[in-house]
Amino acid sequence: MTAAPITSFDLIASPADLDSICSDITAHSSIQARAIIDGAEQLFLRAKGSADTAIATITRGGLRSTMILSAKDRLWPPSDALHALCDRLGVTELTIESVKGLASGDAADPPPAQATTSYINERLYFVNLQQAPQDSAYSSNTRRNIAKAKRAGVSVESRNDPASLQAHFALTDSSVARRESRGESVALRGSRERSARFLANMQATLFQAQLGDQTLSSNLVFFQGKNAYYYDGGSSPEGMSLGASHLLMNAIINKLHADGYRNLNLGIARAGNDGLIRFKEGFAAELRFIDRATYDRDRLGLRAANLLRRLRREAARRLMPA
C-alpha cells in the first residue's frame, strides 16, 4: 500500500514537542538511536500533508554521506522533494524507516522499487517500562526458568570492565554459532568496536548472569535518552540449561524500570527464529512492526560536493584561534 507522493518537506529548527517526538520514534529504531549517540547530524522535517515530524540523521564520511530517515508515515518511494533534499545535503545512501509500530500493510506488499535492500513488516519486540513489571504476565516457561536459575544460585551483576566485555564476546560468538548450526537466520552481529566505545563512554551497560566465577549469560544494553536497547547477548550451554538468560532478562527489565527508563527495545526476531520469538514473547513484550528500505544514491557529483564540503570544514578549523 503506497502512500501518495510527497511534494515537499519543511525543515523544523526545533519542534516544540521535540522530546516526545524523539522518544516515540527512536524508541522503535535502534539504528537511529545509535546514529544519534555516535554524534550524527540531526534534522527534523515534516512532509506536506502530514501532522507527524520525521527525524533524520546524517553520518558524513570523506566522500559519502548516509542519511537515516525515520517517520511514522511511509515515505517511500523517495519523492523528487526528498531526492532534492538529499542532493542539497550530499547524501549518497538513504535509509527510510516507517516506525509506526503497528503492521503498516499486508505481508504481501512488494519491496519498494529501486531499493537495494528492504524489510517489510519486520517483527520488533518492545517492553513498556513505564508500568511495573508483572511476573504473572510472563509465560509459564519463562517463570520456570527464572525459578530454576534462582535455585541454582545464579546471580546478576552489571559491569563495564574489559575482562567482562571479552567474556561477553565469547558468549555471543557461542550463541551465534549454535543458532547457525540449527539453520536459523542470524541478524548481523553487534560491532565490537561500538560495544567497547559505548561502555567506555557510559552509554551502555553489560548485564551478566554469574554462577561463582563463571559467566553463564551476558547482555549489552545501550541507552539513548530514556529509551534502552538490547544490543546483543549470548549464553553458554550450561547457562541455557539453568535458565540463566531468563533470569538475566528479568533482572534487566526490573532494573531499567526502577531507573526510570520508558521503553526497552528488544530488537528484531525474524520469522523462523522460533526460539528467539518465544524468548521475547515470554516477557510479555509487545509485537511492533517496522519497515525499512535503503537506496543507493552514490553519484560522482555528490562525492565531489562532499569532498569540497569537507575541505571547507577543515580550512575553517585551521583558521580558528587556538
pLDDT in tens, 149-168: 999 999 999 999 999 999 99
- Predicted pLDDT of residue 1: 40
Instruction: Answer yes or no: are the C-beta atoms of 247 and 146 closer than 8 Å.
Output: yes
- Predicted pLDDT of residue 2: 44
Instruction: Answer yes or no: are the C-beta atoms of 261 and 174 closer than 8 Å.
Output: no
**Burial environment of residue 315 by CB neighbours within 10 A (0 to 12, 13 to 18, 19 or more):** exposed
Domain with CATH 3.40.630.30 in the chain: 135-283
pLDDT in tens, 209-242: 999 999 999 999 999 989 999 999 999 999 999 9
pLDDT higher than threshold 60 for residue 109: no
**b/e per residue, 175-185, with b = 16+ CB within 10 A?**
bbebbeeeeee
- Predicted pLDDT of residue 176: 75
Torsion, Cα of 164, 169, 171, 174 (10° steps): -160
- Predicted pLDDT of residue 207: 98
For 146-213, the DSSP string reads: HHHHHHTT-EEEEE-SHHHHHHHHHHHHHHHHHHHHTT---PPPPPHHHHHHHHHTTSEEEEEEEETT
pLDDT higher than threshold 50 for residue 315: yes
**Sheet with 204-211, side-by-side order of all strands:** 9-11, 41-47, 54-60, 65-71, 93-101, 286-296, 117-128, 263-268, 227-235, 214-224, 204-211, 155-159
pLDDT in tens, 279-308: 999 999 998 888 888 998 876 555 665 566
Q: How crowded is residue 77: how many other Cβ atoms within 10 Å of its Cβ? A: 18
- Lookup: cell for 48: 506536506
222 vs 14, residue with greater confidence: 222
Least confident of 84-88, 145-149, 173-177, 215-219: 173-177
Most confident of 40-44, 117-121, 226-230, 306-310: 226-230
Fold of 135-283: Aminopeptidase (3.40.630)
Residue type, 151: R
* Residues 316, 50: Cα–Cα separation, whole Å: 38
- Predicted pLDDT of residue 63: 81
**Residue 108 banded pLDDT, cuts 50, 70, 90:** very low
Residue 77 preceded by cis peptide, ω within 30: yes
pLDDT higher than threshold 60 for residue 137: yes
* Residues 294, 216: Cα–Cα separation, whole Å: 37
Q: What are phi and psi of 230, to 5 degrees?
A: -70, 125
Mean pLDDT of the chain: 83
* Residues 49, 45: Cα–Cα separation, whole Å: 12
- In this prediction, residues 245-254 reach a mean pLDDT of 98
Most confident of 12-16, 66-70, 84-88, 214-218: 214-218
pLDDT higher than threshold 80 for residue 112: no
Q: What are phi and psi of 307, to 5 degrees?
A: -65, -45
